[in-house]
Amino acid sequence: MANQEQPVSGNGRLLTEFSAPSYEAWRQAAEQTLKGVPFEKKLIGKTYEGIDLQPMYRQEDVAGLAHVNSWPGAFPFVRGSHAAGYTAAPWLISQELPYSTPEEFNQAARHDLERGQTALTLILDTATLLGHDPDEASAGDVGQGGVSIATVDDLARALAGIDLEQTPLYAQAISAALPTTAVLMALVRRQKKTVEKLRGGIEMDPLGILAQSGTYPRSLAGGYDRMAQLITWARANAPHLRMVTVHSQPYHNSGAHAVQELAFVLATAVEYVREMLARNLDVDVVAPRIRFSFSVGANYFMEVAKLRAARLLWAKAVAAFGGSADSQKMALHVRTSAYNKTIYDPYVNMLRATTEAFAGVVGGCDSLHVSCFDEAMGLPDEFSRRIARNTQIILQQESHLTRVIDPAGGAWYVEKLTDQVARKAWALFQEVEKQGGMAAALAAGFPQEQIAQTAELRQTNLALRRDILVGTNQYPNLKETPIATRTSDYETLRKKRAAHIGEYRTALDNEASTVVLEKLANILNAGPDGVIEAAIEAALAGATLGEIARTLRQGDETPLTITPLRSHRLAERFEGLRRAAEGFQAKTGGRPKVFLANMGPIPQHKARADFSTGFFQVGGFEVISNDGFGTVGQAAQAALASGAPIVVICSTDETYPELVPPLTQQIKAAKPDTLVILAGYPADQVEAHRAAGVDDFIHVRANVVEMLSNLQQKLGVGA
């Protein structure tokens, strides 16, 4: 029998022989290693959300946080909406298939469903979202961003061979939710499927499309009337369909940080609930019909905290409306970020998406889309879809993330960060509420202004290389072979689809056309409870989605307009530099050249030569390097012989006073228009070097985008 007085473990023995150090003792030891640099400056991390990240977290940091003691499946649902987590059912693999025609969508959908995908996301094109048939749509709208659907036959071709009773379908109908529902239900009836067995959603989101595009095709009041009709109809007919989805993508893709993204999504959802209550719907009818779709970026722990905080805040909001525990549960879809994906070195996007997918799963998503690595360049191919899909399958079947419940739960860092994100998001949400709600805030430009400030700070930090995008503003690969870009020929597609719809209408005989007109008239004559049924009957009779949408808008046809958010990708400014350099190469046969005048032996110049190489390569410049020169004359001769219009002097601050003036003067004497740049910024020497002819300086605090853009302009690159 073991001696009860002896420690039973190695850790126990250590604690009897050594005293446990205090936080204060650790901090004192840490400060000693900093050699005078302030602790707060070196070891406290700053985030865009205004949160200070500590170098170490302790149990004391989570003391008093109520949610820490909660269980999965219990209020406030921070640890997940389901008690058994993924052990009961894995998250849905719900990949987007952004193809333009029903046939292309169907081919990809059937292929991918046979290879591990478990749910379908049907993205509709711009024309369909606006309620326009292809023959009345603007150039470029047909097939833009998604599939063109105008008739029940179109949808039948898109979903041919797919059992809608077995496959969840999420249709991103956004501003065309009711006519899309009509066409979908008409197909279900034609196929004699059971509506009650359908799972998925229609994803109506009027404020989301308003924020993203700056326009909504009718009044918000009219949109909310349709939302109430959809929710009422779904409650009675399709209990497993969620008719509303609040999307964070408009905010995320405009540069919002996690707190802004969460606050504006919450404000949107609260406005939807409030508007539905005003239309005599109960919160326990409305809340279960709402789904949330969040983008997740590469800041792993922040994104995990954002998703956990989202469930907490939604539960709090629904509880405030008097909703039940079941109504407080959030249905959470996640897609990996489009904002941080890059055109150059695109295979790095696979790594970004993997990290983001992992964050989405650890954060507790119910369904997930992993973006294809070539998403920023156009349509995916079979290979890029397979890699994205298999990323999820590996997380489920090889990483075994379906065998654990809330793996982040209890981690002091994650729990503290969750609380901080939630508190800051709630405070910003309350600011929106004070302005009259999300619609009023958007009309006043409040979210736009807030996000624009964050986006500009992100751009500045990227330009200063405080933030890194591998392959874009750091570690570029100028030898990469560009992958093929796959895009639709929208003008040809519009003509083809317009002709198809024209033939479709012509094929209807007089009797059928009369029935269609009668059914469309019935939509106008139906009361609020009969609108959707009348629209379904019209679709079954042959009415197009555009005709149904146009009928529904009668009397409410003035679009609502605001200043939209500016959707963009973080890498675009750097990619513009690379494209300009490639255009220059196409015209002249070579990239703009930079010669490195490396002075002295390798140890003397290597650090700044490496820095200079990376500095210019991110702008697509060809850098001509060497192992160093022993004399100024040799360096000047080589620089002039290279024909490079830019010469960068690389050495040490100590040697610059002796080397820079004569080298600069020799180069300028022979070729006055040569731009001479010094690697480094020795503050006490700057004026002397400028007087000697140095044109500029590159250093760690330089704005790379501004400087390289100015240099390209001086060289005629991009002209």
pLDDT tens digits along 616-643: 999 999 999 999 999 999 999 999 999 9
- Encode 612-661 in three state secondary structure: HHHHHHCCCCEEECCCCECCHHHHHHHHHHHCCCEEEEECCCCCHHHHHH
Compute the distance between CA of residue 52 and CA of residue 302 in angstroms, rounded to an integer: 12
pLDDT single digits (tens) 139-168:
899 999 999 999 999 999 999 999 999 999
- What is the tens place of the pLDDT at every residue in 362-414? 999 999 999 999 999 999 999 999 999 999 999 999 999 999 999 999 999 99
Q: Which residue has the higher pLDDT, 523 or 9?
A: 523
At residue 459, does pLDDT exceed 80? yes
Alpha carbon distance 511, 519 (integer Å): 12
Regarding the domain with residue range 67-399+406-474, which homologous superfamily does it belong to in the CATH classification? Methylmalonyl-CoA mutase (3.20.20.240)
CA distance 430 to 306: 17
Res. 5: pLDDT tops 50: no
Alpha-carbon gap, residue 54 to 352, rounded angstroms: 24
Strands (E), 480-538: none
Which DSSP letter does residue 591 get?
A: P
Q: What percent of the chain has pLDDT over 70?
A: 98
The domain limits of the chain are 67-399+406-474, 490-556, 572-715
pLDDT per position as a tens digit, 532-563: 999 999 999 999 999 999 999 998 988 999 99
Assigned architecture for domain 572-715: 3-Layer(aba) Sandwich (3.40)
Three-state DSSP class for 544? coil
57 and 413 Cβ atoms separated by less than 8 Å: yes
Q: How far lies 558's CA from each of 219, 221, 222, 660, in Å?
A: 7, 12, 11, 67
Strands 593-598 and 241-247: unpaired
Distance in angstroms (rounded) separating the CA atoms of residues 562 and 215: 6
pTM: 0.94
Residue type for position 294: F
Q: Which of 307, 183, 334 is nearest to 245 (CA)?
A: 334
Provide the 3-class DSSP secondary structure of residue 22. Answer: coil
Task: Please report the pLDDT score of residue 334 as a whole number.
Answer: 99
pLDDT at 10: 54
Average of per-residue pLDDT across 496-524:
88
Question: pLDDT confidence of 217, banded at 50, 70, 90?
Answer: very high
Confidence of residue 12 (pLDDT cuts 50, 70, 90): low
* Chain segment 114-133, per-residue pLDDT in tens: 999 999 999 999 999 999 99
Three-state SS at 357: helix
SS3 379: coil
